[in-house]
Amino acid sequence: MKTYTEEFKKTIVELYEAGNKTKSELAREYGTSECNIRTWIKKYGKIKTSTGEITSNDEIIKMKKKMLEIETENEILKKALAIFSKQQKIK
């Protein structure tokens, strides 16, 4: 199974989004499959948000992961604060 670098995948998506070539043309030219290109477009392709900003699924996944980390850190801090508050009341 042939593996492709992330840079290569993003380049193919950029070429596709430029509108000059179809998925099948890119697949033939770069020796990959249309299925791969569709997958890469879903992951790296541009998405226009309701506010007009441009992002990608990859970026959304990274933001969700970061948000989960922050939420977990907040929960830990809340629990630590509760423990320290109880200790202060005891003294």
- Residue range of the domain that includes 18: 6-90
Judge whether 52 lies within some domain. yes
Supply the pLDDT for residue 22: 95
Number of domains in the chain: 1
Supply the pLDDT for residue 36: 97
DSSP-derived secondary structure letter, 56: E
CA distances for 42 relative to 24, 82, 91, angstroms: 16, 43, 57
DSSP-derived secondary structure letter, 51: T
Supply the pLDDT for residue 85: 86
Judge whether 1 lies within some domain. no
pLDDT beneath 70, residues of the chain = 90-91
Which residues fall within 8 angstroms of residue 58, CB to CB, at 6 or more apart? Answer: 43, 44
Amino acid occupying residue 77: L
Supply the pLDDT for residue 28: 97
